[in-house]
Amino acid sequence: MTDGKGEQTKSKVMERLYAVKWDGDWDEVFGKTMSRRLLMREYLRRSALWAQTYSAESVWPFYDITEFMDPEFKISPGIAHELDKFLRARMSADVKVTCRGAVRLAELRLQNPTNRSDNLPDLYEPLIRLYERGGEFMTDNAGALDLTGVSFRPGSLQGNASNTPVVALHNTVLDALDVEGRVTFYASDSDRGPVFRRLLPQGGGQRDEVFSGKLGWQPTTQPFASDGDRGYARIYDQEAARLIEVAVLSAPRCAGQEQA
């Protein structure tokens, strides 16, 4: 978007942040608890890698990375005005600084495409997607992250930096993880084949389902969770996300789709 003089007045990142429902419906947010938790964990991992690269360990995990990449960097006046106006909203300090960092990093990359961050994963994309899936998060007095429906401590910078990628930034994968109710995932002991889930909906009852990259979750009668069954094991949500990603990316309709 440009003004009458051709100056850029709002970035694509700003447009995404303005579109976020910061005061979303609680029931809807609760239904996206799992994807938001994994997105936060993926951000913590990426944030640790960036902090190590640019000597920002002292401000990890929530910070504006451009202050360490190029302390003299300034965004264009039009975008600066839009950003200042946006940051006047009632949000937590951690949310504000990461929104500021996301806008400024995008502009820094536009102005200086040769910056040395090419080998690092996109820093703020997991958080932007978290915001798009239910608004802000809070940090309590004990340092735990409250994502509405789930809270956990961020852990150490070193521990997060050594973690493997947590979740694919692919909407189909994220949507497949979310459901209202209590869910348990299972997969074969051989680490191959589909992922299953046992869902206990909030209204009662039980559903057993298997995931297909083409059809999504489908009912199944295969006995994958019985005590006497062999060949299947309970898995954690991060491993379930990996198997769902494999299924989604193997489906013909998803071939070639981009991830951040």
Structure tokens at 22: 């910061």
Q: Is the pLDDT of residue 211 over 70?
A: yes
Average the pLDDT over each of 96-100, 101-105, 176-180, 186-190 and give the range with the smallest value: 186-190
Q: Is the pLDDT of residue 228 over 60?
A: no
pLDDT of residue 191: 64
Q: Is the pLDDT of residue 4 over 50?
A: no
Q: Is the pLDDT of residue 171 over 50?
A: yes
Answer for the pair 229, 213: CB distance below 8 angstroms, yes or no: no
Mean pLDDT over each residue of the chain, to the nearest integer: 89
pLDDT of residue 51: 98
Cα–Cα distance measured from residue 74 to residue 104, given in angstroms and rounded to the nearest whole number: 8
pLDDT of residue 25: 82
| Residue 191 vs residues 23, 145, 146, 172, 243: alpha-carbon distances, Å | 40, 31, 32, 21, 9
Q: Is the pLDDT of residue 48 over 50?
A: yes
Q: DSSP for 85-125, please give it.
A: HHTTSS--HHHHHHHHHHHHHHHHHHH-TT-TTTTSPPSSH
Structure tokens at 181: 């109710």
pLDDT of residue 190: 73
* Upstream peptide bond of 77 is cis (omega within 30 degrees of 0): no
pLDDT of residue 21: 93
Per residue in 176-187, pLDDT tens?
A: 999 988 999 999
Q: Is the pLDDT of residue 39 over 50?
A: yes
pLDDT of residue 10: 62
pLDDT of residue 209: 96
